[in-house]
Amino acid sequence: MRQDETGAPEKAATPNMLAALAAPKVKQADTPEVFLATLSDALKASDDVDVDLAGILSDHLLTVTPHANAVGNAKAAIVALAAKRAAPVDE
């Protein structure tokens, strides 16, 4: 058995390890609508994703039949969100 840089023996990958890595972690969606809805919900529920930005992505881009100007509309919504957040808070 070979050794790694630290001098410890290297463990060979077993078929069980490879099968576990190759196995899908999430159940596959049946339709594009289900996939996009699940993705949208997952983004909105994630603590690591901005909820407002996830909403914009869901509304404009994560649709089966996006509007012809979906990217432009999403960009405008993102710019509006950025302007709102950059505006000074009135006290």
On whether the CB atoms of residues 9 and 2 are closer than 8 A, the answer is yes
Is 38 inside a domain boundary? Answer: yes
Is 60 inside a domain boundary? Answer: yes
Is 7 inside a domain boundary? Answer: no
Is 23 inside a domain boundary? Answer: no
Q: Is the predicted pLDDT of residue 28 greater than 70, yes or no?
A: no
Range of the domain at 68: 28-86
Tell me what pLDDT residue 23 has.
60
Confidence of residue 85 (pLDDT cuts 50, 70, 90): very high
Is 16 inside a domain boundary? Answer: no
CA neighbor of 57 nearest in space, from 85, 35, 82, 78: 78
Domain count, the chain: 1
- Using a pLDDT cut of 70, give the percent of the chain over it: 69
Token representation of residue 17: 């390890």
Which of the two residues, 3 and 86, has the higher pLDDT score?
86
Is 43 inside a domain boundary? Answer: yes
Is 75 inside a domain boundary? Answer: yes
A 10 A CB-CB count for 80 gives 11
Is 39 inside a domain boundary? Answer: yes
| Residue 54 phi, psi dihedral angles, 5° rounding | -60, -40
User: pTM higher than 0.85, yes or no?
Assistant: no
Which of the two residues, 13 and 78, has the higher pLDDT score?
78
Give the angle subtended at the CA of 73 by the CAs of 86 and 37, to the nearest 5°.
100
Per-residue pLDDT, averaged over 62-89, amounts to: 94
Tens of pLDDT, residues 33-61: 998 999 999 999 888 889 999 999 999 99
